[in-house]
Chains A and B, each alone.
Chain A
Amino acid sequence: MKFVYLIIGVLGGVLGGLGMGGGTILIPLLSFTKVSQHTAQAINLISFIPMAIVSLVIHVKNGLVEKKGIFAIIVPALVFAVLGAIVSIFIKGKILKKCFGGFLVLLSVYSLLSFKSEKSVKSLEKSNKNP
């Protein structure tokens, strides 16, 4: 059984390493096991940390992090994250699960729509070049 958790972690990690993640498959995969929603969320958070540290060091070295204004993002993020975490303790796992699912669906629709509009902008540019 422990092996399953390792595999789920690997799958989640690969997506994270590809530059995406945030529990997109870790949490849903864990929802197939006997792990509760709150525990899945906790695991997602904690398992992200070691990888994030390594990635961040590399990104900082490559100068990719925008430092200007970053504290104006981080400070409110910390405050609201703590608030959100405390509130989530009192919300039923089932509800958190569905809300997160809805959030993922919305985000994916937005993502796919922005790919589509990129395509139509590109084809417009192409047709303008060849009248």
Chain B
Amino acid sequence: MDKKRKRVLIISGAVIGIINGLFGGGGGMIAVPLMVKFLGYENKTAHATAIAVILPVSIFTSLIYLFSGAFSWSVGLWSTAGVVGGGILGAILLKKLNSKAVGKIFAFVMMLSGIKLLFW
């Protein structure tokens, strides 16, 4: 593997990692465009590989958040149960929906969420 590619891989990893660590999320969201644009991965590959990267990252980051006492079991247990259930629903929905439409809706949701967090 040439040096340039290795550098791109390492920098991508660093960016994904620091976003995930600082914000407790978002690493996966930046991983996909990074992989598509700078590593030339196809969309599906980028999504799948992003999960492969974010999973160990999330596990390690979670441990630190856990030790720092940030996690709340009374809230977290319910949210996690919801996320698992919702995730199954989402995966089923994905097959039935137009992926471009989904992408656009998601971009709008992201924008609204960002504005909410910034100003409210």
- Docked pose: A26 CA to B26 CA in angstroms: 11
For chain B, the count of residues having a C-beta within 8 Å of the partner chain is: 91
In the complex with contacts A72-B10, A100-B23, A104-B26, A41-B83 CB distance below 8 A: no
Over the window 1-42 of chain A, the binary record of Cβ atoms lying under 8 Å from chain B Cβ atoms (1 yes, 0 no) is 011011111111111111111111111101101011011111
Q: Could you write out 21 A-B pairs with CB less than 8 Å apart?
A: A9-B86, A10-B85, A10-B86, A13-B84, A15-B90, A27-B24, A38-B65, A39-B75, A46-B58, A47-B79, A66-B48, A73-B16, A74-B57, A79-B14, A83-B18, A88-B21, A88-B24, A96-B23, A107-B114, A108-B111, A111-B103
- Is B18 a contact partner of A52 (Cβ separation < 8 A)? no
User: Interface residues of A: mostly helix, strand, loop or mixed?
Assistant: helix
In the complex with contacts A43-B75, A79-B17, A111-B110, A101-B116 CB distance below 8 A: yes
In the complex with contacts A17-B86, A41-B70, A111-B103, A81-B27 CB distance below 8 A: yes
